[in-house]
């Protein structure tokens, strides 16, 4: 990758234009490959869910429900958000091909899709962590299924309307709401408050909440597993179909659910730190570091799918 620390930026029609160096195009290519892996994994899971739904509906004709609890709703929302985030990352293919990132309708679309996916993932992670905490700590379901559907709908409503309304309001502004930032399109640098309220705030809340809730829950579950004669790492590989002990089933599923917010923190914190530094000092972070953390973050969909596969039917235990 090129040793150039920053992009070549010039002004064109009041919009920042980024001319990519060969090294930066390579870095962006790696991030696209990561996004493709995530999209493939998410589509594979959604396709599998579709096949299962069709088979069970055919066999049972009626009475089959795909979503049985609030946690199912939040996880499904998370997977769909991962898909949007991956699509937004894949759209960088055009900038790689042209060697320049510039304002256009394509740029607007990428900015909207990326904001939808990244903010949606953060909000779904918040919902999953809170739901898991209440179920384990208070041993009760925090909300009914209809309330979870309402929460998920509100999340998607915010994620869709926030960038779209911002785009429409500032469509004819001299400073576009969606612009190169600088290697891909997102909310422009002139709209710092919208960046924070539209995404950064939710990323930080999700990461902080994951840490605050993960630590006490881990020790609560650890104490319970030791009393039951099992090691915590054994429960990580235990499915609800492998044990005859209902308590073990719940603990196993709960441990696995904690991995969603925990892995989210691992993937999002480096990107958040990098973005915050760039937010205050645009040329302080080398492009190599930016592409490294962005590529890691682009694997979010793949990681979530791997966790979901490991959980298998455990969602039904604590959902």
pLDDT(166) > 90: yes
* Count of structural domains within the chain: 1
In a domain, 2, yes or no: no
pLDDT(116) > 80: yes
CATH number of the domain residue 261 falls in: 1.20.1070.10
What is the per-residue pLDDT across 67-111, written as a single tens digit (0 to 9) for each?
778 888 998 999 999 999 999 999 999 999 999 999 999 999 999
d(CA 163, CA 159): 7
What is the per-residue pLDDT across 14-38, written as a single tens digit (0 to 9) for each?
578 889 999 999 999 999 999 999 9
Both tokens of residue 12?
Answer: 């064109």
Residue 216 or residue 160, greater confidence: 160
First to last CA, the chain: 46
Task: Tell me how far CA of residue 101 lies from CA of 21, 178, 184, 306, in angstroms.
Answer: 11, 12, 7, 33
d(CA 306, CA 312): 10
In a domain, 86, yes or no: yes
In a domain, 3, yes or no: no
- Give the structural domain span for 89: 9-318
Least confident of 9-13, 131-135, 237-241, 293-297: 237-241
In a domain, 292, yes or no: yes
In a domain, 185, yes or no: yes
Share of the chain above pLDDT 90, in %: 42
Q: What pLDDT shows up at residue 227?
A: 42
Structural element, H or E, at residue 8: strand 8-12
Q: What pLDDT shows up at residue 4?
A: 42
In a domain, 4, yes or no: no
In a domain, 122, yes or no: yes
Average pLDDT, the chain: 80
In a domain, 1, yes or no: no
d(CA 252, CA 233): 9
């Amino acid at each position: 990758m090129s040793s150039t620390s920053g992009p070549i930026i010039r002004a064109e029609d009041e919009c920042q234009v980024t001319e990519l160096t060969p090294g930066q195009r390579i870095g962006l290519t790696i991030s696209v490959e990561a996004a493709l892996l995530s999209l493939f994994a998410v589509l594979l899971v959604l396709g599998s869910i579709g096949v299962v739904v069709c088979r069970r509906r055919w066999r049972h004709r009626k009475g089959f429900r795909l979503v049985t609890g609030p946690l199912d709703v939040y996880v499904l929302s998370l997977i769909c958000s991962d898909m949007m985030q991956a699509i937004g990352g894949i759209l960088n293919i055009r900038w790689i091909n042209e060697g320049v990132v510039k304002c256009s309708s394509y740029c607007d679309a990428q900015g909207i899709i990326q904001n939808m996916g990244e903010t949606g993932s953060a909000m779904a992670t918040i919902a999953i962590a809170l739901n898991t905490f209440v179920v384990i700590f208070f041993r009760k379901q925090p909300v009914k299924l209809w309330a979870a559907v309402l929460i998920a709908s509100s999340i998607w409503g915010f994620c869709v309307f926030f960038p779209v309304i911002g785009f429409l309001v500032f469509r004819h502004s001299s400073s576009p709401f969606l612009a190169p930032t600088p290697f891909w399109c997102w909310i422009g640098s002139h709209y710092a408050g919208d960046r924070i309220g539209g995404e950064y705030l939710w990323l930080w809340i999700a990461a902080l909440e994951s840490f605050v809730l993960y630590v006490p829950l881990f020790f609560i579950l650890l104490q319970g597993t030791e009393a039951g004669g099992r090691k915590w790492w054994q429960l990580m590989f235990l499915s609800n179909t492998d044990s005859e002990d209902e308590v073990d089933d719940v603990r196993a599923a709960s441990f696995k659910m904690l991995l969603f917010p925990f892995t989210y923190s691992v993937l999002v914190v480096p990107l958040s730190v990098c973005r915050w530094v760039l937010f205050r000092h645009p040329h302080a972070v080398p492009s190599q570091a930016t592409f490294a953390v962005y590529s890691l973050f682009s694997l979010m969909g793949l990681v979530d799918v791997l966790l979901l596969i490991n959980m298998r039917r455990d969602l039904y235990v604590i959902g």
